[in-house]
Amino acid sequence: MLKALIIFFGLLALCYAASVGTTSDAPDVCQSEDELWGGEDIRKFYFCLDGQVITDECDPGYYFVNNVTISGCLPADLMKPSCVNLDTTVPDCTGTSKLQPQAADDVASFYLCTSDGAKELPCPDGKAFVSQDGYLGCFPWSEWRSLRNCVDD
């Protein structure tokens, strides 16, 4: 009996680990049968295939938009400016750039100055980089959206 219980809890723990390991914000309900839709992560979009939600991601430098005129991945320079980083530069690692992480063109990455110079690092899964209004670091996409004011009009 005890053995069975241990196996049961072991399985529970495994299932829990598996569900935490997969990306958290992926919807599991079809929002539309014939259209793409977006989520908090501006790079991702979803569609339905045989009742299953499929998650896909725009190419690097492209972001997902779904409004009256457009549905699909747009290059950064056609996006709402509050949603993208255009023309960021690799920090020279002097002055303040040496001390704090800096924005990169990829909104989910940042530059960090190390003893080997500037390195571009990704935010942890589910987060994007913010450096404004006293916020500095990787924040969940929903928070990133409201801090950046990158919301649908």
Cα separation of 8 and 79, whole Å?
Answer: 49
Q: Looking at this protein, which amino acid is placed at residue 149?
A: N
- Structure-block tokens of residue 116: 């080997």
How many residues bind ligand NAG (CB under 6 A)? The answer is 10
Nearest distance, CB of residue 63 and ligand NAG, angstroms: 8
Please give the residues from 61 up to 90 whose contact with ligand NAG meets the rule CB under 6 A: 65, 67-70, 74, 78-80
Nearest distance, CB of residue 107 and ligand NAG, angstroms: 14
Cα separation of 153 and 102, whole Å?
Answer: 28
Nearest distance, CB of residue 69 and ligand NAG, angstroms: 4
Which residue's Cβ lies closest to ligand NAG?
67
Q: Which of 112, 87, 108 is nearest to 98 (CA)?
A: 112
Q: Reduced to 3 states, what is the DSSP secondary structure of residue 142?
A: helix
Q: Does 151 bind ligand NAG (CB under 6 A)?
A: no
Binding footprint of ligand NAG on the chain (CB under 6 A): 65, 67-70, 74, 78-80, 153
